[in-house]
């Protein structure tokens, strides 16, 4: 249940070992939080992350969560005690672009995690929040989904689908007191991108977290991290197809 100032007291992180997700959890005003639930595939790794978050008065629990097991999503969400004030949908995979662009099974597997599973988990959380009459869902998308680039079409396409779904779903549940915010980070220095050449305007999980919380507090529907990517995206969106194909990424 939110406190008297409307600040969240319980946060659920789906993708409990996500660096961006954990940075967002850590960025919340710790005096308002009472409980954090980390839902992740690797429970042992989740426990190590929980240890870093725990403090006096803050309860951090870890639950096993498998994104691809969509049949388990609603049951897992419903089993969480107390109101879920904020849920962060942060799980996903980047995949190997060279593989997923040609391997049918690999492409399907990536889409199943980054789109199908994320949609399922978002709806499961939304069902719970609609019953509560309040809550916010932060869906972590990507600038890669705004205009899908040739360098990684499967990942970008999955993010584009998730991004569009989250916007439409947010409109569907708004009247029930549920706010959905789409977070579109650019290149983020993390374990997922280790060894890759940083793109322009590269950022960190901590910087993304501050931008995300500001957007959530303002009830924004779409948030770019960093903010300059909104202008970059507008420019990219209006490039003619033949020009876009020659962009080297």
CA 15 to each of CA 64, 71, 98, 99, 231: distance values in angstroms, whole numbers, following the listed order: 10, 17, 25, 24, 29
> What's the CA gap between 192 and 147, in Å, rounded?
21
For residue 121, how many other CB atoms are within 10 A of its CB? 26
Only one residue has tokens 């529907």, namely 221
* Torsion on CA atoms 46, 51, 54, 55, rounded to nearest 10: 180
169 is catalytic: no
Q: Look up residue 164 and give its two tokens.
A: 């569009």
Q: Tell which residue, 220, 188, 184, 227, has the closest CA to residue 204.
A: 188
The one catalytic residue in 155, 165, 187, 224 is: 155
In three-state secondary structure terms, 62 is strand
Tell me the catalytic residues: 155
């Amino acid at each position: 249940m939110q406190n008297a100032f409307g600040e969240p007291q319980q946060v659920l992180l789906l993708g409990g070992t996500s660096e961006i997700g954990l940075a967002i959890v850590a960025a919340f005003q710790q005096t308002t939080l009472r409980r954090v639930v980390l839902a992740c595939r690797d429970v042992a790794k989740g426990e190590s992350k929980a240890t870093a978050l725990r403090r006096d008065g803050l309860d951090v629990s870890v639950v096993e969560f498998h994104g691809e097991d969509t049949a388990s999503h609603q049951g897992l969400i419903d089993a969480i005690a107390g109101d879920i004030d904020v849920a962060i949908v942060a799980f996903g995979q980047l995949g190997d672009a060279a593989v997923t662009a040609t391997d049918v099974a690999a492409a399907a597997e990536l889409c199943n995690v980054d789109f199908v599973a994320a949609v399922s988990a978002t709806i499961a959380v939304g069902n719970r929040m609609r019953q509560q009459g309040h809550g916010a869902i932060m869906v972590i998308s990507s600038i890669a989904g705004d205009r899908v680039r040739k360098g990684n079409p499967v990942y970008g396409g999955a993010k584009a689908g998730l991004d569009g779904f989250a916007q439409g779903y947010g409109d569907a549940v708004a009247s029930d007191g549920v706010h959905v915010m789409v977070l579109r980070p650019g290149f983020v220095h993390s374990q997922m991108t280790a060894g890759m050449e940083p793109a322009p305007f590269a950022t960190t999980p901590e910087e993304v977290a501050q931008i995300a919380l500001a957007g959530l507090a303002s009830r924004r529907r779409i948030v770019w991290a960093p903010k300059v990517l909104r202008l970059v995206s507008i420019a990219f969106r209006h490039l003619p197809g033949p020009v876009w194909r020659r962009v080297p990424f």
